[in-house]
């Protein structure tokens, strides 16, 4: 488990990390999400002992990362945004070197190297020079070294940046495999990445934690009541006339497709659920609805709301 307490990092007058507090529990994939420059990589670097904090502390399984670095780091495997690879080495030579650096006992090194080669699907390239590998394979080698020693926590900083779609899918599959035996923290600004693989999301903006919960709970908590979407094969004017008959409309936004289907995004007064009234209004007008749904806030919308001027709003799991 990781405990981050009042974590702060200043560079001169610039406050990169602003009094962060959160806990990472075992057995989950955590998404650490934020725009570029939000403080994600700085936080990751402090959590792994690469940087010191200005204030606060990070406890890894009860060990302070700065006061007890060796004990704390035994529990962490880290893949930074730029993998720490030695291009003149073969894959196997590099993993042997990483195993030695990590202090893995000699009688266990070979079996662990074999295991991470199998896990990361590096068998076909284990004797090739790293400099001759594709970016996708280089990421796999970086992940393999992070897993060596089988630490409880794996921290990945932007693991799919610059990869093609096929490589991204392969790395996602590998992350899911890792999560079966490890706690994974995935730092990213790619929303699709976080949605696809993470159980739990933390959003950071301006160095502050502005959201902390599961994707589903975040969407439910931030979905506005009274937000309804209607689709019908009708003109905007016709739909507007029918919708406003209910007398409960605060705002309506329309879009019409090339096929003549109009979609209305409706906000009801007082956040009321007016789906029944809308259904009856369209039925009385003899205009069939194609869909009638209560709108749900997407992760993209949540991200934009919390990182563009709404940083004072903190969304957190209710226990």
Predicted local distance difference test score (pLDDT) of residue 222: 63
Predicted local distance difference test score (pLDDT) of residue 231: 96
In a domain, 306, yes or no: no
Crossing angle for the helix pair 215-222 and 299-307, to the nearest 10 degrees:
70
185-213 residue pLDDT tens: 998 878 888 888 999 999 999 999 999 99
30-82 residue pLDDT tens: 999 988 888 988 998 999 998 999 999 999 999 999 999 999 999 999 998 88
Q: Tell me, yes or no, whether 213 and 233 share the same domain.
A: no
Q: Tell me, yes or no, whether 55 and 31 share the same domain.
A: yes
Q: Tell me, yes or no, whether 142 and 258 share the same domain.
A: no
255-297 residue pLDDT tens: 999 888 999 999 888 778 899 999 999 999 999 999 998 876 7
Domain boundary among 221, 243, 268: 221
pLDDT mean over 83-103: 96
Predicted local distance difference test score (pLDDT) of residue 8: 97
Domain boundary among 194, 221, 248: 221
Which residues touch 313 (CB under 8 Å, ≥6 apart)? 210, 305, 306
The model carries a pTM of: 0.76
Burial class (CB in 10 A: 0-12, 13-18, 19+), 271: exposed
Q: Tell me, yes or no, whether 271 and 213 share the same domain.
A: no
Q: Please answer whether residues 221 and 213 qualify as being in contact, where contact means their C-beta atoms are separated by less than 8 angstroms.
A: yes
Q: Tell me, yes or no, whether 204 and 79 share the same domain.
A: yes
Predicted local distance difference test score (pLDDT) of residue 215: 80
φ, ψ at 91 (rounded to 5°) = -60, -45
In a domain, 17, yes or no: yes
Predicted local distance difference test score (pLDDT) of residue 42: 92
Burial class (CB in 10 A: 0-12, 13-18, 19+), 247: exposed
104-146 residue pLDDT tens: 999 999 999 999 999 999 999 999 999 999 999 999 999 999 9
Average pLDDT of the chain?
90
pLDDT mean over 22-29: 91
Q: Residues 124, 127, 128, 134: is their CA dihedral positive or negative?
A: positive
Q: Can you give the residue range of the structural domain that contains 68?
A: 2-221
Least confident range of 81-95, 239-253, 283-297: 283-297
In a domain, 302, yes or no: no
Q: What angle do CA 170, 173, 178 make, to 5 degrees?
A: 125
φ, ψ at 7 (rounded to 5°) = -70, 125
- Number of folded domains in the chain? 2
Crossing angle for the helix pair 91-101 and 106-119, to the nearest 10 degrees:
130
Q: Tell me, yes or no, whether 200 and 241 share the same domain.
A: no
Domain boundary among 195, 221, 247: 221
């Amino acid at each position: 488990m990781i405990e981050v307490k009042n974590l702060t990092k200043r560079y001169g007058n610039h406050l990169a990390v602003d009094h962060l507090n959160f806990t990472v529990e075992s057995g989950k994939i955590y998404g650490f999400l934020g725009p570029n420059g939000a403080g994600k990589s700085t936080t990751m670097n402090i959590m792994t002992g690469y940087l010191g904090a200005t204030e606060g502390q990070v406890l890894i399984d009860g060990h302070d990362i700065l006061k007890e670095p060796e004990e704390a780091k035994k529990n962490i495997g880290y893949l930074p945004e730029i993998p720490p690879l030695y291009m003149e080495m073969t894959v196997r030579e590099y993993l042997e070197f990483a195993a030695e650096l990590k202090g893995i006992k000699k009688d266990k090194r070979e079996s662990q190297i074999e295991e991470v080669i199998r896990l990361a699907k590096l068998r076909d390239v284990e004797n090739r020079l790293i400099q001759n590998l594709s970016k996708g394979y280089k990421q796999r080698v970086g992940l393999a070294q992070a897993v060596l020693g089988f630490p409880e926590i794996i921290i990945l900083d932007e693991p799919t940046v610059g990869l093609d779609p096929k490589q991204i899918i392969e790395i996602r599959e590998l992350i899911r495999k890792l999560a079966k035996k490890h706690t994974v923290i995935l730092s990213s600004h790619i929303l699709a990445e976080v949605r696809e693989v993470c159980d739990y999301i933390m959003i950071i903006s301006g160095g502050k934690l502005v959201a902390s919960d599961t994707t589903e709970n975040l969407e439910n908590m931030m979905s506005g009541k009274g937000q309804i979407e209607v689709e019908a094969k009708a003109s905007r004017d016709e739909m507007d006339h029918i919708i406003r008959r209910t007398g409960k409309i605060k705002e309506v936004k329309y879009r019409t497709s090339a096929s003549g289907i109009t979609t209305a995004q409706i906000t009801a007064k007082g956040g009321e659920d007016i789906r029944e009234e809308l259904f009856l209004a369209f039925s009385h007008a003899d205009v069939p609805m194609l869909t009638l749904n209560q709108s749900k806030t997407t992760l993209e919308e949540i991200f934009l709301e919390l990182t563009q001027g709404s940083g004072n709003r903190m969304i957190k799991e209710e226990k």
